[in-house]
Amino acid sequence: MTVCWHQAVVIVTLACVNGCSSLLPSERAEMRSPFSDYLDAEIRYSQAVPGVTRRADLFSLGFDPLAQGNGKMLSFIDLRLMFVQPNVPIDYLPDGLVQCLEAKDRCVGYAFEFNKTDSQRVGSFWADILNFRKQREVQGWTFRAVFVLVDDTLVHKVSNGEPNIRRLEVKRNPLGPLQGAGEFFSDQLK
């Protein structure tokens, strides 16, 4: 009976040593979107044409804050605070934004942010679990867009984002499991 128990411990230990990296935690974060990737979002964004695209057209492209989510509905005041800076003359603004400022309450906006990231812990299982070194690879994309409409017609749009996020985050703790123990004990004494 004792021999079987020892054999089981050895088998489990060998399995952990050989496949330990698969035991590291992983994480996936996604802001739901109708877009499969950054390029898809960029292509649909480019199909919205100021002066031509109507609100319904914008919604059918996937930029609908009610149906697709992850969008903010912006008032005229929100747009003014977003685009108008104190030291920048109004005539420096694009024509569509000037049109929005003149239209006041007839001007509305939509701001969207879509992203998809995968985060995987990599490196040594033992260094990670014992808190000596934690490494995380982050991959994904982020796309943000703002649309300004006056009387249901698009008058201005702007976008930015990160089409190819590739990061390696490394956190080192020379004292391993003892790192942060002082903080833990001081919190317990409070």
pLDDT value at 13 more than 90: no
In a domain, 128, yes or no: yes
* Alpha-carbon span 83 to 146, nearest angstrom: 11
Please compute the mean of the pLDDT values over residues 69-82 and round it to a whole number: 91
Among the ranges given (21-25, 136-140, 141-145, 171-175), the one the predictor scored with the smallest mean pLDDT? 21-25
In a domain, 2, yes or no: no
Please compute the mean of the pLDDT values over residues 118-144 and round it to a whole number: 79
137 with 104: CB under 8 angstroms?
Answer: no
Domain encompassing residue 89:
25-181
In a domain, 186, yes or no: no
In a domain, 16, yes or no: no
Q: Is the overall model pTM greater than 0.85, yes or no? A: no
Mean predicted lDDT score pLDDT of the chain: 81
In a domain, 34, yes or no: yes
pLDDT band at 162 (very low <50, low <70, confident <90, very high): very high
Give pLDDT, residue 27. 59
Give pLDDT, residue 70. 82
What are the structure tokens assigned to 186, written together? 């001081």
* Alpha-carbon span 74 to 76, nearest angstrom: 7
Show the CA angle centred on residue 84, arms to residues 49 and 112, nearest 5°: 45
Q: What HEC string does the chain produce? A: CHHHHHHHHHHHHHHHHHCHHHHCCEEEEEECCCCCCHHHHHHHHHCCCCCCCEHHHHHHCCCCCCCCCCEEEECHHHHHHHHCCCCCCHHHCCHHHHHHHHHHHHEEEEEEEEEEEEEEEECCHHHHHCCCEEEEEEEEEEEEEEEEEECCEEEEEEEEEEEEEEEEEEEECCCHHHCCHHHHHHHHHC
β-partners of residue 120 are 26, 137
Q: What percent of the chain has pLDDT over 70?
A: 75
In a domain, 98, yes or no: yes
pLDDT band at 5 (very low <50, low <70, confident <90, very high): low
Among the ranges given (7-16, 112-121, 145-154, 157-166), the one the predictor scored with the smallest mean pLDDT? 7-16
Give the total residue count for the chain: 190
Q: What is the pLDDT of residues 23-58, one digit of tens each?
A: 666 655 555 678 889 999 999 999 999 999 999 999
Domain count, the chain: 1
In a domain, 133, yes or no: yes
* Alpha-carbon span 59 to 112, nearest angstrom: 12
In a domain, 77, yes or no: yes
What are the structure tokens assigned to 67, written together? 């149906």
pLDDT value at 19 more than 60: no
pLDDT value at 106 more than 70: yes
